[in-house]
Structure 1
Amino acid sequence: METTTFLDNSVPASTRMIKGPLFYEAQRTSLVLDVPKEFSFLSKTARPFVNQKMTVEDINTLAERLNMALVSHGYITSRIGIPAQSLASGQLQFNLQVGRIESVVYKEKSPHLPWENAFPLRPGDILNIRDIEQGLEQMKRIGS
């Protein structure tokens, strides 16, 4: 796991209207996501929120958008969470709970023996629905 800090000093603090009570205000807000390289796409989703005055609603909106980005990239069992934290440091942290494959079970004596080659999945791998879809397509080709 590597920590990716999104801190963009080129963007001035927000001058937009704040809806709701101000939860956190600073000249700079860095967003910290502790994510594996496979999830680096989350930086694009988080970038508009850097250096912004944020309300509780804004923080929840960001978490929701990060979760939607996970789903749109096929990581349907992974989830972004907001841990308890003090924002006095100017950092807003999000945690990524990665959905992993515990085991792959296949019915014995099945006519489809080459499933291990068809599915790019192994216990401990990060689950991505696209890998399952790819395996199903491979199995269709093998069966025909």
Structure 2
Amino acid sequence: MLLLMPRVAARIKQIPIPEQLQSLSLAPRHLSLLAYLLFDGPMPVNQLAARLEVAPTTVSLMVSDLTRQGVLQRHDDPDDRRRTIVAITDDAETRAAIEGWLANGATAWRDAFEPLSGEERATFVRTIRTYEESSGA
């Protein structure tokens, strides 16, 4: 693992940001936020914050920034007008760029997890989480 993890991190850093998104100054935290919205669908800010393990105000700032840049859109929750639902934009070109950017990683994870049982997948996730917590990251 000590040899593998730096190679994995280096490979991830080499994934080019699509041309349509290069001017947006996207950081790794944006990648995680976009991945949740792409693969799990629209969700409230508080749910995104819980998944990203950051404060709701941090997510609100990220969402505001990406909304101004046309990457995300917000709308009121029809069941609770006090909540805001966040989604990836309806703009087909921007959405396609995001999907293309994240597709390789999603495919790689599917390939890696497919032969594993549910218990083995859970063990892997716990192991990576423990590593992250222990490394001071």
TM-score, normalised by the number of residues in structure 1: 0.24
If each structure's strand is expressed as a fraction of its own residues, which one has the higher value? 1
If each structure's helix is expressed as a fraction of its own residues, which one has the higher value? 2
TM-score, normalised by the number of residues in structure 2: 0.25
Larger C-alpha radius of gyration, 1 or 2? 1
